[in-house]
Amino acid sequence: MNGNRRLDEREMKILSQGMAASVVVGMIYEIMLIIYKLMTTPSTKAAITEISILGVMVIGTLSYYIVTSEYVDKSGWSKEYKKTRRFILDERQRKHISESLAAGAFFGYFYTVFVIIFKLFRDKSFKNTYLEISLIVIMAIVLNLYHRKAKEFRLPKTIRGKELSIGSSPEEKKIRYKNYLLDALVTSMIFIPIDIITKRRIFLIVSDPIYYLLSFFFRLILFFIINLIWGECNIKHYNKYYGDLFDEE
């Protein structure tokens, strides 16, 4: 299991449902922020960012739903409603709705990343991006929790989308550790221009070259440890769950 692999139908279904759940939670989060800001500052300008993010999520969901609705048969839905006065969805209709919400999550996620980058360049600081970063973190947590609830333990991937091996041999572990280090290297390099733009320092060092070099190696070690712990824990859960399934069979 080393390399790029297309998701099968079941994995795509769980992924779209997980993204649908994440965008619903994201919408609720944005609505709560909008209400809070409007109550504390009675002006839509104070909540314009949250309104725009919520709007992108909603518009993205509705646009996908409308554009793809002609490919989904809704005759059964209308017939059941006439009989029972309740909207009873079949499998295809539920799939269509979850995929539409997943599209809303996709557009909302990338728009939020754009907002964070824009604010970073405008303010030269992360201080006005904490709410947007929190949204992305919350949506990612919900997506991960949904996968675990569905007993779908996804294998960790590199930044390039390469799936890591799940073996426990020294050779396979060595390959995984190299990928963890490579991802940490790329992530650490991304922070260098951010430090230059924001002019913020995590170490009290006057010399810029020494500071950037020290902060680079500090992040390199930190991200390597995070990648190592996260990746090996996911592989452990994956092997345990699917190992138990094979034992039952």
Query: Which has the closest alpha carbon to 169: 177, 180, 179?
Result: 177
Non-local CB neighbours of 7 within 8 Å, separated by 6+ positions: 15
Return the pLDDT at 139. 94
Q: What is the sign of the dihedral through the CA atoms of 137, 138, 140 and 144?
A: positive
Return the pLDDT at 247. 54
The neighbour count for residue 126, using CB atoms within 10 Å, is 15
Contact 138/108 with Cβ under 8 angstroms?
Answer: no
Written as six digits, the tokens of 223 are 């991200």
Query: Which has the closest alpha carbon to 211: 223, 195, 198?
Result: 195
Return the pLDDT at 95. 84
Per-residue pLDDT of the chain (249 residues; tens, 9 = 90+): 444 445 567 777 888 888 999 999 999 999 999 999 998 887 888 889 999 999 999 999 999 988 887 665 555 555 554 455 455 566 777 888 889 999 999 999 999 999 998 988 888 777 888 899 999 999 999 988 887 777 665 666 777 777 788 888 888 888 889 999 999 999 888 888 877 776 666 666 667 778 788 888 888 999 999 989 988 887 887 777 667 655 555
The neighbour count for residue 139, using CB atoms within 10 Å, is 23
Return the pLDDT at 3. 46
Domain ranges of the chain: 1-152, 156-249
